[in-house]
Structure 1
Amino acid sequence: MGQVLTALRHAIRFAFGGDLSNHLFANLPVPTSDLTGRTFIITGSNTGIGFAAAVHLARLNPARLVLGVRDLKKGEAAKARIIAETRFSSVIDVWDLDMADFGSVKRFAERAGTLERLDGALLNAGMNGTTWQTTRDGWERTLQVNALSQGLLGILLLPLLHATATRPDASPHLTFTGSAGRGRQASPILTKKLRRSHRFDSVVEPGFCVSELMREHNFNGFVTFVHSRIGWSSAKGSLNLLYAALKPTPPGAYVSACKIRQPESWTSNKEGLELQKRVWNEMVEIWCCVAPEVAAIVQI
């Protein structure tokens, strides 16, 4: 019964928020850019929206794609599928990345630092858990994966993005997938704080998609039916990620349905601004304990 009420609540939110018709009839543009010579990182890229985004990018002829995945075997399988579907002939790297482990995030960022350039980082890895679990770092799993590690990785990639921006042919982007689900609410805070001195960041709302994000939920037949009927495919939802990563969006943009939208009201009211300041300061303190170089990066 609880699952039915949850589904109805989301449906009512769409209907009374004026989003349902936009969601059902949205016509999202497929990117056609020529990405010759460019390098992109996509996290959470062995399945769902991340995988679909990697497929779209591969069709645009970049020089290199880096797939950040928790399971290397599944990552290699995703790489093979991308090549089979797109006949991509350039470099696809599969790198280990466990967002529930700060050490793994740091190692991934250090490895990324060896790249010659980084034109786009699509930080999409996330989860929607159903039970309380803590990570080896002592944090609640969803909070660390969706907020703390996502922010840490984005900040550690900023020096490479800045270096790439000095190239005459480059316009790098850092995008955070910021679904409305638990733990993703930190993404608007990240972009609002970073946009003051870093020109690259945006938050992407991929839409209500049929993907493996909800795989830990044991939904009943009715909820599954509703989900399958009104949810976008991962391929369609990923077009939002591509829009944010390839279009000249302003710093801190909130992208939904391939348009720049106004974020939720809490991001700009008095209480929200106070909350953002407190959360940002606490996250920076946590990150600096894990990676002391964060202190200098956020001051750039």
Structure 2
Amino acid sequence: MPTFGDITQFLGGQIFGRTTLPDVDLSGKTMIVTGANTGLGLEAAKHLGDKAASVIYDETNCQNQTEIQVWELDLADYKSTFSFAKRVVEELPRLDGFLANAGVEVERFELAGDLELTLKVNVISTFFLALGVLPKLQETSEKYETDTTMTIVGSLIHNFAPDDQLDIGKEKDIFVELSRPEIADMAQRYPLSKLMSHQCARQLAKHVSATAKQGRTHVTINWANPGWCATSLVRSKKKSLPELALMPLIGWTAEYGSRTLVYALTAGKETHGCYLSESQVKQESSYVRSSKGQEIAQRLWDDLITRLREVRPER
């Protein structure tokens, strides 16, 4: 549960924090934004387009394509996730930035295959896709001697996640256990998924650092909080009384929140392994930084990689 410091950082950032757009030229660059059909992803893609990048949207439903290129992606489906990653690696001449923004927040328990939908979309498939497109980011970095970046969209709400729900016996797969309907706490599932996402992002950054070739630019991995924004993410979920009361007072627009995402995507290698909020590097929750949180992060990563080996198509 959040400490007093976690709460004050959240309130201070939300009430007094400011986001800024970076002054960068993205001419000739290629960026991918997942979940760009609405909300934060759409606003981030607009900003990237304004800065002259070649932007690829994803959208679960591709009937209403815009002039900007749209690729189909459904993170609830492993086949779609792996197909998207394969297309990135095989078809794109370069990839300079990848913004993993797609996510869901639902009220009722629902399985996607053998996993609860929120966990599969927000954590498992998000990092399957991240690992799938990582080779193209690495290739671009080396071939063009340029910085490339992967930004995972996190959330300030990870501070309020019920971290005790991750304290599951070491012999058990955490994702499988949390997908049991009799113990799934759906009221807290979205915050929990964001906490798990932060923990996995930390592990991904460590993986990239450990496998980077000496003397060569490696891919920057960071994760960013867009702030508490009025978006359509909760379209499948009723708003709580605090949300109804506080959103008009301290909530941000999707456009305003998207600025931190664009900032993170262009902030450079100094932000590798860092959490960004209000367009600056910030501390994560006390739990994420604790020895217990780091131990659970390693377990989550191990469970995720084990599952990846089981479900990934043969190359």
Q: TM-score, normalised by structure 1?
A: 0.83
Please say if residues 21 and 260 of structure 2, whose CA atoms lie closer than 8 Å, have aligned partners that are also in contact. no
In structure 1, distance between residues paired with 2:34 and 2:207 = 24
Matches within 5 A, 1:277-292: 277-291=298-312
Map Cα deviations across residues 59-91 of structure 1 (whole Å, 9 max, x no partner).
Answer: 0011x21101111134x2xx35xxxxxxxxxxx
In structure 1, distance between residues paired with 2:45 and 2:225 = 17
2:236 matched residue in structure 1: 216
Map Cα deviations across residues 201-250 of structure 1 (whole Å, 9 max, x no partner).
Answer: 11111111110111122236774242132111000111111111001143
Compared CA separation, residues 15 and 36, structure 1 to 2 (3 A): closer
CA RMSD of aligned residues (A): 2.4
Partner of 1:176, secondary structure, is strand
Find out whether 1:123 has 2:100 as its counterpart: yes
Partner of 1:100, secondary structure, is coil
Compared CA separation, residues 35 and 140, structure 1 to 2 (3 A): same
1:144 matched residue in structure 2: 120
In structure 1, distance between residues paired with 2:18 and 2:243 = 25
Find out whether 1:96 has 2:82 as its counterpart: no
Compared CA separation, residues 16 and 99, structure 1 to 2 (3 A): closer
Which amino acid in 1 is paired with 2:311?
V
2:37 matched residue in structure 1: 46
Please say if residues 142 and 182 of structure 1, whose CA atoms lie closer than 8 Å, have aligned partners that are also in contact. no
Please say if residues 14 and 20 of structure 1, whose CA atoms lie closer than 8 Å, have aligned partners that are also in contact. no
Partner of 1:72, secondary structure, is coil
1:24 matched residue in structure 2: 15
Please say if residues 122 and 194 of structure 2, whose CA atoms lie closer than 8 Å, have aligned partners that are also in contact. yes
Which amino acid in 1 is paired with 2:104?
M
2:135 matched residue in structure 1: 159
Which amino acid in 1 is paired with 2:98?
A
Map Cα deviations across residues 163-197 of structure 1 (whole Å, 9 max, x no partner).
Answer: 01013452110111112323122222223222234
1:85 matched residue in structure 2: none
2:60 matched residue in structure 1: 70
In structure 2, distance between residues paired with 1:15 and 1:287 = 33
Compared CA separation, residues 212 and 259, structure 1 to 2 (3 A): same
Q: TM-score, normalised by structure 2?
A: 0.79
Q: Relative contact order (C-alpha < 8 Å, sep 6+): which is higher? A: 2
Partner of 1:104, secondary structure, is helix
Stretches of structure 1 that go unaligned for 5 or more consecutive residues are 1-8, 81-91, 295-300
Identical aligned residues as a percent? 29
Please say if residues 198 and 223 of structure 2, whose CA atoms lie closer than 8 Å, have aligned partners that are also in contact. yes
1:257 matched residue in structure 2: 278
Compared CA separation, residues 151 and 293, structure 1 to 2 (3 A): farther
Compared CA separation, residues 100 and 238, structure 1 to 2 (3 A): same
1:105 matched residue in structure 2: 81
Which amino acid in 1 is paired with 2:284?
P
Partner of 2:107, secondary structure, is coil
Compared CA separation, residues 140 and 222, structure 1 to 2 (3 A): closer
Compared CA separation, residues 212 and 293, structure 1 to 2 (3 A): same
In structure 1, distance between residues paired with 2:314 and 2:285 = 31
1:247 matched residue in structure 2: 267
2:200 matched residue in structure 1: 190
In structure 2, distance between residues paired with 1:140 and 1:222 = 26
Partner of 1:201, secondary structure, is strand
Please say if residues 128 and 182 of structure 1, whose CA atoms lie closer than 8 Å, have aligned partners that are also in contact. no
2:110 matched residue in structure 1: 133
In structure 2, distance between residues paired with 1:184 and 1:117 = 29
Matched residue count? 269
1:87 matched residue in structure 2: none
